[in-house]
Amino acid sequence: MSRTDLQTLPERAVELLGGEPDDTTLRRYLHGLAGVDAVGLEQRAAGLGTRSIKTTSKAWALDKIIGLMDLTTLEGADTPGKVRSLVAKGLKPDAADPTCPRVAAVCVYGDMVPHAVAALGAAHGDPDDGLVSVAAVATAFPSGRASLEVKLADTADAVAAGADEIDMVIDRGAFLAGHYGLVFDQIARVKQACRREDGTYASLKVILETGELNTYDNVKRASWLAILAGGDFIKTSTGKVQPAATLPVTLMMLEVVRDWHRATGEKIGVKPAGGIRTSKDAIKYLVTVAETVGEEWLQPHLFRYGASSLLNDVLLQRQKLRTGAYSGADYVTID
């Protein structure tokens, strides 16, 4: 790693690591983190999953879930028409209910960003202002098997097209081979590629692909690595690998975020993605966030759901709360 790159690194990372972020230093640091007991972690997650969220709390939770959602389409068959349809759904999820909140962002492949931006028009912007962001997957998503140059170009391209958020994948191969320095370097460089002409940065979500990292210890180390290297969000999965998001793995990543906040005062976001399909499951995540890092994390810049089919189930539950009766799949729109 060159000196210029080091200067761009957040100083706190070098300070925390006690040296340059090479393989040796990172290994010493990441392997010095407290271990994770899988049985205990899963037990705690199951416990959080038993919270009973009813009536007013449930109504609030359902709206919150929609407002924290990255409505996603990541298919090889995506077309501009499909993206326009997705955007329309994200802006007005329930055709019958104008009080239904918008989603936080739409998440598409890099080449679809211009179409998403165009479709959003004036509604494109910060979800904190009631607008909808555009997130783009980049860096040779989902496998990440490409040269760094390609990954950087992929990223810069999406940012230039107007993406507000970049969902990058880490090089799992390098991570599993112990080349932590390489993974760190790539994340830091992609972060640089998120820089816009005006000097601001697109938000960087780092996808760990927890299903390929396999152990909770690995996920914990990868989470710290991603945050140290400058990720704004840590995200569980691409959705292309099983298992994708699970409650225990999300809980553990939230614990890392909590500990990072404790150590530096910085707030990092978490995005579980893939496999969350029902309101019931989504509420469990909401509970887990609130009881692990606190309620202030329940905002679009600190927590997101990456999902495609979840939205309709949430809408059905919303209708049920409002009318007292269950409707059916034909009472919500297909994307």
Partner 1 sequence: MSFLEYAPAPESRSILNLRDGYGLFIDGDFVEGTGKSFTTISPADESHIATISAASEADVDRAVTAARRAYDRTWSKMSGRDRGKYLFRIARLVQERARELAVAESLDNGKPIKESRDVDVPLVAAWFFYYAGWADKLDYAGLGASPRALGVAGQVIPWNFPLLMLAWKIAPALAAGNTVVLKPAETTPLSALVFAEILQQADLPPGVVNILTGAGETGAALVSHPDVDKVAFTGSTAVGRAIAKEVAGSGKKLTLELGGKAANIVFDDAPIDQAIEGIVNGIFFNQGHVCCAGSRLLVQENVHDEVIDRLKQRLSTLRLGDPLDKNTDIGAINSREQLDRIRALSDIGEEEGAERWSADCVIPDSGFWFAPTIFTNVQTSHRIAREEIFGPVLSVLTFRTPAEAIEKANNTPYGLSAGIWTDKGSRILAVADRLRAGVVWANTFNRFDPSSPFGGYKESGYGREGGRHGLAAYLAPGSSAPRPRQTALAAGATASASQPPSRTPRAAKKGRASASRGSGAEPQKGAKR
Distances, alpha carbon 131 to alpha carbons 107, 161, 198, 221, in Å:
14, 18, 21, 34
Rounded Cα distance, 334 and 196, in Å: 35
Q: Give residue 322's identity as a one-letter amino acid code.
A: R
Q: Is the dihedral of CA 334, 169, 129, 261 positive or negative?
A: positive
Chain-centroid distance of CA 269 in Å reads: 7
CB of 291 to partner 1, least distance (A): 5
CB of 52 to partner 1, least distance (A): 4
Which range of residues in 58-66, 112-120, 123-131, 224-232 is near partner 1 by CB under 8 A? 58-66
Q: Which is nearer to partner 1, 33 or 140 (CB)?
A: 33
CB of 58 to partner 1, least distance (A): 7
Which range of residues in 46-54, 159-167, 187-195, 323-331 is near partner 1 by CB under 8 A? 46-54
- The single residue of 191, 205, 235, 284 carrying the catalytic annotation is 235
CB of 274 to partner 1, least distance (A): 24
Binding of partner 1 by 291 (CB under 8 A): yes
Backbone angles phi, psi at 66, to 5 degrees: -65, -45
Rounded Cα distance, 138 and 153, in Å: 9
CB of 36 to partner 1, least distance (A): 5
CB of 118 to partner 1, least distance (A): 36
Sites for partner 1 among residues 60-99 (CB under 8 A):
60-61, 64
CB of 33 to partner 1, least distance (A): 9
Binding test (CB under 8 A) with partner 1, winner from 4, 34, 121, 328? 34
Q: Active-site residue 191, yes or no?
A: no
Q: Residues touching partner 1: how many (CB under 8 A)?
A: 28
In 87-232 the beta strands, taken as DSSP E runs, fall at: 105-109, 133-137, 165-169, 203-207
Rounded Cα distance, 230 and 193, in Å: 12
Q: Active-site residue 271, yes or no?
A: yes
Rounded Cα distance, 13 and 131, in Å: 33
Binding of partner 1 by 5 (CB under 8 A): no
Rounded Cα distance, 138 and 165, in Å: 10
Q: Which is nearer to partner 1, 2 or 56 (CB)?
A: 56
**300-312: b or e for each residue (b if 16 or more CB lie within 10 Å)?**
bbbbbbbbbebbb
Binding of partner 1 by 296 (CB under 8 A): no
148 by Cβ neighbours in 10 Å (0-12 / 13-18 / 19+) ranks as middle
**157-189: b or e for each residue (b if 16 or more CB lie within 10 Å)?**
bbbebbbbbbbbbbbbebbeeebbbbbbbbbbb
Binding test (CB under 8 A) with partner 1, winner from 2, 4, 7, 56? 56
Q: Do 174 and 202 touch, CB atoms closer than 8 A?
A: no
- The single residue of 167, 171, 232, 313 carrying the catalytic annotation is 167
- Cβ count near 201 (within 10 Å): 16
Binding test (CB under 8 A) with partner 1, winner from 10, 27, 57, 148? 57
Q: Do 207 and 235 touch, CB atoms closer than 8 A?
A: yes
Rounded Cα distance, 12 and 225, in Å: 13
Q: Which is nearer to partner 1, 3 or 54 (CB)?
A: 54
Binding test (CB under 8 A) with partner 1, winner from 52, 147, 200, 242? 52
Q: Which is nearer to partner 1, 22 or 259 (CB)?
A: 259
- The single residue of 89, 151, 271, 284 carrying the catalytic annotation is 271
Per-residue binding letters, 234-253, with partner 1 (x by CB under 8 A): ------------------x-
Q: Which residues contribute to the site for partner 1 (CB under 8 A)?
A: 34-37, 39-41, 43-44, 50-58, 60-61, 64, 252, 255, 286, 290-291, 295, 298
- Residues with a catalytic annotation lie at 167, 235, 271
